[in-house]
Structure 1
């Protein structure tokens, strides 16, 4: 690793708290440069007077000071494990791996918490929700806040899947949570926290359940029923119906993108925007440009802000003062409200499939495919970065096509 890296827990006297005490911090020294890291955690805040700290680091501390010295030792041990696992040391990489103070590198929940924090910091709220729910489900199964990676063998993952099924979770949800768990394994192995020899997924191990064959897309005749459905003007049900149609007509845009649209995204002919989901993944992400049809104009005139200043949101769900967490809560409530109403509409018009905001996206892509539009064009319209993702959206269409083709075999 080159120059030696040293660690020590010291009293950081450069910072004084309101109670007159100073925080204890982990000091890391490398190439004569020193950096200090917080070691506080959910259970304890490490702050002391100079006299108290001297009692902790004394050769033979007593009582609570003895316990704290042992905790210091464990924190330093974990820091040294991180340093040893690094091919070449950098303070930035160490900070990322050290994370919350005293993070247990064998505890998969520690890695989940770290990943969840990263998603929140980057406004990746879909991934944040997926990993948060996956972590909570794992905690419930083990009944603990401490789950060693080694407990999750292929056999244990099979039992975990069976338990989730018994709790009423769909295979789609189970697959999502297991995919998150697999990602956490890969991160921990990449950082050297666990051996690459222990990997319960893949060939000969646990295989994720697939929910790809669930048919979400609607036929044109079913979409027509929703389009022509009449309900009380400006009622919650009409709001849900119009938002669903707006999503369908706007290239299957998801609600997170719709509620963030501003009038600056509109010109005389097009609505142009970049998907929130992909904007951080690639610097070359292309904007989605959708023709401003009469139906889209009608829905904007009906539900949109009357003040059409360029920085104003088109719809009145958000305001500039809202934080990302407040926006996320607003979005969750809107999706739930819309889904509840759309399920009632579907039942009334005789659609047997479950209709949600997600159905609008799949319906858009499938209608285009049935009309002979290329998969490449559909992928670009959806804002996908690869064709494989687009192909997954078109699975239900392909299944129906196979059935139609089979009929021709005996058409004599």
Structure 2
């Protein structure tokens, strides 16, 4: 009995023309006497189909399509060669499982799937960030496939971001998120490790502009007399963050009465809850008397509500939680800007500055990095050091005089 070997070929299905004059390119799997056809997701005119079979093809777009079509065919043939005995069901199970169709190889599809998972986990901010990244990539080069992420693409995308005057920090965030998606595709055996585009590509790392306030500016804020209750509330929450280990405002708004004892606040960062499953260590905050007064002034008076401060409610969606936190932060920043102008403080004094200022004040007072790391809830000293501002200008001048002061 003659045994026929199954084969994979590409063909232009010219039985039905599309509105743009193109025909679908299909993958044909043949094992005598049967055959089945599968969509590749690509459409070509008859002239384009002829061109991609020409050894002197010069059209860059058609060259790219030719490479991708050959990629589909070669992967299909590799499955066929190892499939014993052959069956169309067995072929389809492997073919679709390993994502060899254009839709499954789409970079946007992989981003969409990950974004959907992030939302399901309540990581709305991260989901928004990944959406921003794929939107940027799509503007630069739409309809990309996973294998389109090459070293040449990474270099050209970095140049594109530079031309748009995007900061190295922003570019670095986008590229790290792209790298995370590519790593997921490699882990799923969709891409080969040897084709890893980031192997010899260095992602730009922007240097954070230090946002910590000077001691004089901090004193001004601590002594400021607000003009109305809105300014008072905004300033109180800013000071509360500063006095409580530079606590992130999202963490402040998630505090519950059980997080507070007579002398301490214990909490686990919302960010850490969602990204680390093991070794979750609560941050322990020693309560300054002024922080206790602020807490008493603005805490929730409705015992039926679960949160310490009356911004969030029980039962609301993760998206609503994110939006309410963002709105409150924006509201605080608006009133802190009015206070900054009134006090003639040069740099911004938004909510994030409170966190930087807390860590930098401790650094200036020679508190060990290990303590600051623990207070901020960081996993490494390197992360903590990136938060720390430079020493104040007056300290630099004093140290300069030390170089010649030998009396």
Which consecutive unaligned segments of at least 5 residues does structure 1 have? 1-58, 61-65, 85-93
Corresponding residue SS for 1:277: helix
- Residues 321/167 of structure 1: CA separation in 2 closer, same or farther (3 Å cut): same
Q: Quote the offset at 1:410 in angstroms.
A: 3.5
Distance 1:373 1:234, change over 3 A: same
Corresponding residue number in structure 2 for 1:158: 155
Q: List per-residue Cα deviations over 1:183-208 (Å, max 9, x = no partner).
A: 222222222222223333353x2x22
Q: Which moved more, 1:272-281 or 1:148-157?
A: 148-157
1:390 aligned residue? 384
Q: CA deviation at 1:405?
A: 4.7
**Is the 1:339–1:356 Cα contact (8 Å) retained in structure 2?**
yes
Q: Equivalents in 2 of 1:319, 1:159: separation in Å?
A: 46
Change (3 A) 1:353 1:155: farther
2:354 aligned residue = 360
Report the Cα offset of residue 242 of structure 1. 2.0
Among residues 337, 353, 364, which one is paired with 1:343 in the alignment?
A: 337
Question: Counterpart of 1:304?
Answer: 299
Give the number of aligned pairs: 326
Cα offset, 1:294, TM superposition = 1.9
Question: Following the alignment from structure 1 to structure 2, what is the Cα–Cα distance between the partners of residues 202 and 101?
Answer: 24
How far apart are 1:411 and its partner, in Å? 3.5
Mapped to 2, the partners of 1:174 and 1:306 lie a distance apart of 45
1:299 shift after superposition: 1.4
Q: Does the 8 Å contact 2:122/2:319 carry over to 1?
A: no
How far apart in 2 are the matches of 1:408 and 1:251?
A: 33
1:337-381: per-residue Cα shift (whole Å, max 9, x none)? 223333343233222223322211111111111112111111111
The 4+ residue runs of structure 1 with deviation greater than 4 A are 69-74, 97-103, 397-407
Could you tell me which residue of structure 2 aligns to residue 174 of structure 1? 171
For residue 353 of structure 1, give the secondary structure of its aligned residue in structure 2.
Answer: coil
Q: Classify the secondary structure of the residue corresponding to 1:179.
A: helix
Match of 1:323 among 293, 317, 342: 317
- Report how far residue 158 of structure 1 moved: 3.4
Q: Does the 8 A contact of 2:211 with 2:389 survive in 1?
A: no
Query: Per-residue displacement from partner, 1:305-329 (whole Å, max 9, x unpaired)?
Result: 12356x6311111111311111111
Answering whether residue 244 of structure 2 is matched by residue 250 of structure 1, we say yes
1:217 touches 1:363 (CA, 8 Å); kept in 2?
Answer: yes
Matched residue, 2:195: 198
Report if aligned partners of 2:150, 2:197 keep a CA contact under 8 Å in 1: yes
CA spacing shift, 1:100–1:362, aligned 2, 3 Å: farther
Cα deviations across residues 126-183 of structure 1 (Å, max 9, x unaligned)? 32232121122212222x3x21234333343333234334445333222211221122
How far apart are residue 276 of structure 1 and its match? 1.0
Task: Give the one of 182, 186, 198 matched to 1:185.
Answer: 182
**Matched residue SS, 1:180:** helix
> Which aligned pairs between 1:13-412 and structure 2 lie closer than 5 A?
70=38, 104-142=103-141, 144=142, 146-203=143-200, 205=201, 207-235=202-230, 237-280=231-274, 281-308=276-303, 312-394=306-388, 396-397=390-391, 405=399, 407-411=401-405
TM-score by length of 2: 0.70
Which SS does the other structure have where 1:355 is aligned? coil
Q: 1:103 to 1:359 in 2, by over 3 A?
A: farther
